[in-house]
Amino acid sequence: QVQVVESGGGLVQPGGSLRLSCVASGSSLSIYAMGWYRQSSGNERELVAAMTTTGRSTYTDSVKARFTISRDNAKNTVYLNMTSLKPEDTAVYYCNVRLGSLWESYGEDYWGKGTLVTVSS
């Protein structure tokens, strides 16, 4: 089994910054990618950013140039550095861990419980 724990959420003013962290743990852990999704009230969960273990990343258009994803593969940790935050970024942010080899997903995902990010004055 895989345990996924997020941290770093909180209340921040528009234009501010936050850094989210996610740590995955478990025995015989083989990770294809780790990433961040978010879900605001009344909306579906959406991909924010993700990065494979080999270093390939993707971002949703609304956060490009503002958010940066990074990973420490040795620690099974992924970070999301968020800058220039906007009220519309308010959501519960969930860490996703996708198991697989370095080159191929197994189609098996594990999720954290989420960390709330609130952008408001």
Cβ neighbour number for residue 8 with a 10 Å cutoff: 16
97-119 pLDDT tens trace: 999 999 999 989 999 999 999 99
Q: Which pLDDT value is given to residue 18?
A: 98
Distances (CA, A) of 75 to 8, 45, 72, 81, 97: 17, 26, 6, 17, 13
Strands 31-39 and 46-52, sheet pairing: antiparallel
Q: Which pLDDT value is given to residue 40?
A: 97
Mean pLDDT of the chain: 96
The Cα 120–Cα 94 span in angstroms is 20
38-92 pLDDT tens trace: 999 999 999 999 999 999 999 999 999 999 999 998 999 999 999 999 999 999 9
